[in-house]
Amino acid sequence: MSASHIINSSLTPTTPTAVAVPTRNRSTKPSEVNLLKLASKAGGFETKKAAQECLKNAGFIATPEVVGSLLSAVARIRSGHNNRPERVVLKRLGHIPERTDINATISREPVLLPKGAPTIRLISLRKQAVTAVAYSLIRHGAAGGHSLSINFAPDASAVDYKVVMDRNWNTYRGQFKGWSADEDHHRITVPLDWRLRVERKGLADLGGMMTLDAHELMPHGDVQLFAATWARQGRGFDVKVDRGFMALLGGEHFHADSAKAAISGVQRKVKAAGLPARAVVGAYELSVEGFIKRYKGRNISVSVCDAQESGSCDFGIRSWCEAVGLNYEGGDAPLEMVLQGFRARPQEEVRRAVLYAVRRHRAKHKGTHRTCDAITA
């Protein structure tokens, strides 16, 4: 190549080459679908900055408005997952059933058996049954103190009810210090199967007297007959124990020393109870206060003979009189005192005795009255 050719070549102008200039991609605003896809893929964002980075990496703008929309999409997805069971139930049933408080059910105390061996619990139950009847029928609770113990008899001869009175010198204080206060200690002895022999047969409380033992005998027709031992209230805290026979017929009962007397007594009592009250119609249906209100103010007396003729047994009459503070040996008492006792201890036998006394008083003025001696004869 010649020198001139080289010189000419170097002087010839060359065409400049184009240089590539990088262009900036313009980010777009994500649609609702894009936001849900990003939220589902990410699962959640701990900070707003993390949400911004996610939008930028996906080629979307990351303005505060878009970031808020992305976080809202995350919240909707989580709410949809959490509420899916309710939505399924609502779709199938059409309503949401009421929820039960599981924690309240779990926190409830479990049902436990009573403490102690079964034999000990059974004996305790037997004593509780006897104690409840004794407290409801027999006077108790002296100023100096009170106690009650239950023993179980090996045989019927040992059945008893005793009250031991004692004195307590430590009850009173102050100016009454040194004075004695009475204590009543009740000792009850009943058969081991008292609940089976007495309570379950409805014999525990008959006429205000506590049945301690009852041995069923051969019935006399429709009359149920029992050889029994019962306790009745005496004066003060004294308790009388009687042994004899009880007869039951038509919801009525009668205590007597012999089986024959008990049978005839309950039959007479049922007959007397079936007679209509000629004095006032409906007297048996009156309440206690209504009965007292109707018959108070009458200047008549109610006698032991009235109670006997209306069907009551002598043991029951004595027990009721002692319980309300009336003198049985006196033979009679004013109607006002009898009604006061009836309010304190209402018994159907007392109601019958009062009605019999009212009829007797009316018959006396009519000249048709029979004396007690004539009735007995």
Reported as a single tens digit per residue, the pLDDT across 349-363 is 888 888 888 888 887
Quote the pLDDT of residue 101: 64
pLDDT confidence of 370, banded at 50, 70, 90? low
| CA dist., res. 18 & res. 77, Å (int) | 51
Q: Is 243 strand, coil or helix?
A: strand
| CA dist., res. 228 & res. 47, Å (int) | 91
| CA dist., res. 364 & res. 317, Å (int) | 24
Q: How far is CA 140 from the centre of its chain?
A: 25
- Tell me the pTM: 0.53
Q: Which pair of tokens denotes residue 178?
A: 């040194």
Quote the pLDDT of residue 24: 43
Q: How far is CA 139 from the centre of its chain?
A: 25
* Residue 162, pLDDT above cutoff 90: yes
Provide the residue count of the chain.
377
pLDDT tens-digit map of 282-321: 666 778 888 888 888 888 889 988 888 888 888 788 888 8
- The answer to which of 79-93, 189-203, 254-268 has the lowest mean pLDDT is 79-93
Mean model confidence pLDDT for the chain = 81
Domain boundaries, the chain: 32-84, 118-272, 276-376
Quote the pLDDT of residue 277: 42
Percent of the chain with pLDDT over 70: 85
Helices 348-366 & 335-344, crossing angle to 10 degrees? 160
| Opening angle at CA 293, ends 292 and 296, nearest 5 | 70
pLDDT tens-digit map of 4-53: 554 454 445 544 444 443 444 457 888 888 888 888 888 788 888 888 88
| Opening angle at CA 321, ends 317 and 323, nearest 5 | 120
* Residue 341, pLDDT above cutoff 80: yes
Q: Which pair of tokens denotes residue 103?
A: 């924690």
The pairing of strands 209-216 and 332-334 is unpaired
